[in-house]
Structure 1
Amino acid sequence: MRKSEKLFVMLVMIAGVVILNSCNKEEVESTNLKTISKDYLSLFSAFNTASEEEITSGDEDDLKSAETWTCLNVTIHENENGDFWPRSWTLDYGEENCETFSGNTRRGKIHVTLSDWWRNEGSSREIVFEDYYFNDNKLEGVKTITNNGENDEGHLTFSKEVTGGKLIYTDGTEMKWDCQKVSELIEGNDTFRFFDDVWSVTGSGAGVNRDGAEYTFEITDPLIYQNGCFYPVSGVVEIVTEGSLTIIDYGNGECDKVATVTTDGVTTTEEL
């Protein structure tokens, strides 16, 4: 074989090795991605403060500290000037994991401030987290809820905004998000009880996932929450991450812990 032919063969072999190594590297990198669909589900659940909102929506009959779950201590802080409003509460889940609704664990404190009775138009609620952990992942950010009054259907509506939202995992990776939602009380509006309430939630947001990739999400079919069900009983959320589409479908009205997740055409069933 002539020298030129040998040189050509060697170049082809080297190119093949480079391509093979490149493919292997891409394969390794793809398998090392940390973010999975359940991380988005966990993020949405972690910022669900329905129980805390219900606990801190009392009137004059509830002006005392109370215990709900055995591991949760609720303290109502009196105003120094004696005025009833604004009200503030500290919800302390303790320093060890406390198992609460739907088997989720919590620890740490949540501080809630309410400017006026929650059903009065214009009332504002601020929720702040202090060393607070949801299923061992630290949660940070501020959640603000504003009463917008009744819409044309006579339903109470609330703007709910999360700023600086972050879920920090035990390995140091983070799920970040900011969101703006609108909650509409579509059933139970005529009573002051919570057990018959049904909420319809719409909205959108954006953030950065555990791999540093930016994402956006939008509720394309309203999420329906029934009192007593921690997770939505129906509704659809679409998440776009650098061209990849994930669709979360919460079902057709059953109060369960299951959602159907479709990512780029591949469908799985996820336990919430």
Structure 2
Amino acid sequence: MKNLKLKLWSGVLVASLILVSCTKEDEVKNVELDQKLLVASAEIDFSNELDFNSGIEVANDNSSYSGKTNNTSSPLTTCATITVDNATPGVFPKVFTLNFGTGCTINGITRSGVLIVTLSGYFTNNGSVMTIERSNYYVNGRHVEGTVTYVSETTNPETPQWTRTITNGQITNLQWEVYTHNGTRTVKQTEGVSTLTLGDNVYHVLSGTHTVNRPNGTSLTVTVLETLIKKYACNYISQGQLDLNGTFLDGVLDYGNNTCDNQATYTHSNGVVYQVNL
């Protein structure tokens, strides 16, 4: 009987150790998956803001890029060949094609493929729509897909505002991992509205939720917690906070004090702080 009890106890102990080991392995796996989701989310935000800048540039022209050369002052035209289907100023809709070819680099960012920007009217007019579509499009080696739509909800011309919706979003990273995503955000321009240059434009992302999914079923939900600040002249979001909720991630991503850099801080709900390179 004593031997039987010892054998039973040994079996329970081994099973318990295996359970603890599996639990720790699962936790480590969840952390790794969520970290990858966080990186994918940052890459998605980066490409969306980059394409928004490109859309703003062609929308600001409202005429034709046909015939412009690489000697023009526009940073975009030094990299992409830009044409428009309707060259008459003030007549809409207009479809701009931004062809980055097999790859060109501006400010350390390499893009290839094609962006198609469609304007239904002047971008800041209430009800006007800007649609950005990608075709065989890559940003720093990541394959970026999906359609981004901006609908103007401007009621005060001094502070234009849009609802941004992403459909069929997908990004393939350098490890060939595929992430799908979708969501909606509210964007308002707060500075640079009355000037003739784009460099002083500042945009605030007021609210919205975005979901990033992995093929294995894990996902990350990203919600604007504190208004995000995005300057046209900066490649990165420079201030604001996002609430992150995933399998393991449960905390806040803070973009800092409005300095233009690729640094952010993630604070987990248990108080642990991590530095994040965007």
Aligned counterpart in structure 2 of residue 76 of structure 1, from 67, 70, 83: 83
Provide, for residues 2-55 of structure 1, a one-character-per-residue CA deviation record: whole Å limited to 9, x for no partner: xx1111111111222222223223333333333313332222112212331133
SS of structure 2 residue aligned to 1:150: coil
Q: How does 1:187-266 map to 2 (within 5 A)?
A: 187-210=191-214, 212-242=217-247, 244-264=249-269, 265-266=271-272
1:60 to 58, 63, 85: 63
Distance of 2:179 and 2:79 partners within structure 1: 26
1:44 lines up with 2:45 in the alignment: yes
Distance in 1, Cα, partners of 2:234 & 2:139: 18
Distance (whole Å) between structure 1 residues aligned to residue 87 and residue 155 of structure 2: 33
Q: Deviations over 1:42-95 (max 9, x none)?
A: 221122123311331213364545544687323323249999321112222223
Larger relative contact order, structure 1 or 2 (CA cutoff 8 Å, min sep 6): 2
Identity across the alignment (%): 23
TM-score, normalised with respect to structure 2: 0.84
* Structure 1 residue 87 corresponds to structure 2 residue 94: yes
| 8 Å Cα contact 1:175-1:207 kept in structure 2 | no
Provide the alpha-carbon RMSD of the alignment. Answer: 2.7
Distance 1:120 1:169, change over 3 A: same
The CA deviation at 1:228 is 0.7
Q: How many Å separate the matches in 2 of 1:93 and 1:6? A: 76
**Residue of structure 1 in register with 2:170 after alignment:** 166
Give the residue type in structure 1 aligned to 2:63: E
Is 1:184 matched with 2:180? no
Q: Partners in 1 of 2:90 and 2:41 — Cα distance?
A: 41
* Cα 1:78–1:46 shift into 2, 3 Å: closer
**Does the 8 Å contact 1:72/1:91 carry over to 2?**
no
Assess, with a 3 A threshold, how the Cα gap between structure 1 residues 63 and 107 changes in structure 2: closer, same or farther.
closer
**Equivalent residue for 2:18, pick from 6, 13, 21:** 21
1:31 is aligned to 28
**Structure 1 gap segments, 5+ residues each:** none
Retained in 1: the 8 A contact 2:93–2:119? Answer: yes
TM-score (normalised: structure 1):
0.86
Q: Size of the alignment, in residue pairs?
A: 266
Change (3 A) 1:122 1:66: farther
Q: In structure 2, give the amino acid aligned to 1:234.
A: Q
Task: Indicate the residue corresponding to 1:140 in structure 2.
Answer: 145
State the AA in 1 paired with 2:93: P
Taking structure 1 as reference, are residues 60 and 137 closer, same or farther at Cα in structure 2, changes over 3 Å only? closer
Could you list the structure 1 runs, at least 4 aligned residues long, displaced by more than 6 angstroms after superposition: 80-83
1:270 aligned residue (250, 254, 276): 276
The structure-2 alpha-carbon separation of the partners of 1:80 and 1:52, relative to structure 1 and needing over 3 Å to count, comes to closer
Aligned 8 A contact 1:248 1:262 in 2: yes
The 8 Å contact of residues 110 and 128 in structure 1, kept in 2 or not, is answered as yes
Q: Secondary structure at the match of 1:116?
A: coil
8 Å CA contact retained: 1:233, 1:251: yes
5+ unaligned residues in a row in structure 2: which ranges? Answer: none
Q: Give the 3-state SS of the residue equivalent to 1:140 in structure 2.
A: strand
Equivalent-residue separation in structure 1 for 2:255 and 2:14 (angstroms) = 47
